[in-house]
Amino acid sequence: MTADRNTDAETGKMAALIEEAEKDLLHTYNRYQIVLDRGEGMYLFDTDGKRYLDFMAGIAVFAFGYGDRDFNDALKAQIDRIIHTSNYFYNEPAICAAKHLKQVSGMDRVFFTNSGAESVEGALKAAVKHAYLKDGRHDHEIIAMEHSFHGRTYGALSVTGNEKYRDPFGPMPGDVKFARINDIDSVKACISDKTCALIMEVVQGEGGVIPATSEFLREVRSLADERGFLLIFDEVQCGMGRTGSMYAWQKYGVKPDIMTTAKALGCGVPVGAFLMTEQVAGSSLAAGDHGTTYGGNPLAAAAVCKVLDLYEERHIVEHVQEISPYFESRLDELKAEFPGIIDRRGAGLMQGLVFDRPVKGIIADAMDHGLILINAGSDIIRFVPPLIVSRENIDEMLRILRPCIEKEYSR
């Protein structure tokens, strides 16, 4: 199947919309010159009718693809009941969502947020408060990873291991030291008697699609237990089944003290959460320490409930486990074909191809030919398709991508 354009579409509508947007929106995104209008399964359509095969999934958000009737119907039903109250009251969807999320995560307590960055903010506050209750000090340190990405709010930015994001907004809050993923000696060099937490992605996303090794995870867990600091796993992108287990850490059996989740948790509805063990919950955040107007409201919580139900009913994690080896093998074929592709790495349906040059041109060319991809740094194409992706979708993606790579290397 190839990209097509609806001849009945209003010609030029998209260009006019982009021109209007540039007058009104704050220019904080270098957007592709596309206005997306609707979606069906693995495909998105712009306002001029062109179809795109989506291997970005809203940045690892749309697990079921687009236009899922069961999911949409659940949201519509909740809208007709109640959309929002406030956290001065309980609501039934949030109770359902918390119970189900505890079951699939193995954690004990849940706090619902509006986003992944907000989940990281809450996790950091919980860790600092936990340390304060132990020793009464205000000078605690946090260890994070180089090349990590945890969000763009101030607290999340402070533990994001990329200077280009932090430097324009310094000094950052808190005292953060940066180690290197899969380098336990670099972690040990950062530990002091002030260390209260270590935060890391189990699979780094924007930093290069780099999975932590099982040995490294076991070692940081051991160090946290030995030195008395908390271990925080950021599962915002690599969680929700994307790597072949509901949360990436579960495959290794290394449990965190605090965990963050978002993205596919709401499959397009803005919702996230941070979760913790009972031990941390009993000695960290108390009434009045943290809050949110919208977090866990009935509509967002209904989305979480339905998402988790559909994951179970449709065996989404099992499908990821089944399709991932085929995906990896096809990407390995592409790597073998082009010497300029120097590595393929990742886990499950979170994969990256590392090139010997910037990939911006390849991604733009693929977009022109009806394939949506995303980078991870300047030289890596990141693949995070909807979790319903099929072998046929993977084959179609490669049919579009291969000539784009050939064009880049023929220049």
pLDDT of residue 2: 44
The pTM of the full predicted model, rounded to 2 decimals, is 0.95
Strand 350-355 relative to strand 258-261, pairing: unpaired
CA 314, 66, 354: angle at the middle one, nearest 5?
90
pLDDT of residue 11: 52
Mean pLDDT of 58-78: 98
How many separate helices (H) and strands (E) can be counted in the chain?
14, 17
Lowest pLDDT segment from 159-163, 227-231, 326-330, 379-383: 159-163
Is residue 162 helix, strand or coil? Answer: coil
- Per-residue pLDDT band for 4 (boundaries 50, 70, 90) equals low
Q: Quote the DSSP letter at residue 212.
A: P
Cα 161 to chain centroid, rounded: 16
Please, which residues have CB within 8 angstroms of residue 64's CB and are 6 or more apart in sequence? 71, 267, 310, 314, 316, 386, 387, 388
- Distance, in Å, from the CA atom of 269 to the CA atom of 265, rounded to the nearest integer, reads 8
Q: Is the pLDDT confidence value at 365 over 80? A: yes
Lowest pLDDT segment from 170-179, 266-275, 329-338, 373-382: 170-179
**For the chain, which residues make up each domain, given as ranges?**
69-313
Q: What percent of the chain is predicted at pLDDT more than 70?
A: 97
> What is the edge-to-edge ordering of all strands in the sheet holding 51-54?
36-40, 43-46, 51-54, 371-372
What sections of 191-315 are H helices per DSSP?
214-227, 278-281, 298-313
- In CATH, the number for domain 69-313 is 3.40.640.10
168-225 tens-digit pLDDT: 998 888 899 999 999 999 999 999 999 999 999 999 999 999 999 999 999 999 999 9
Q: Mean pLDDT for the chain?
A: 95
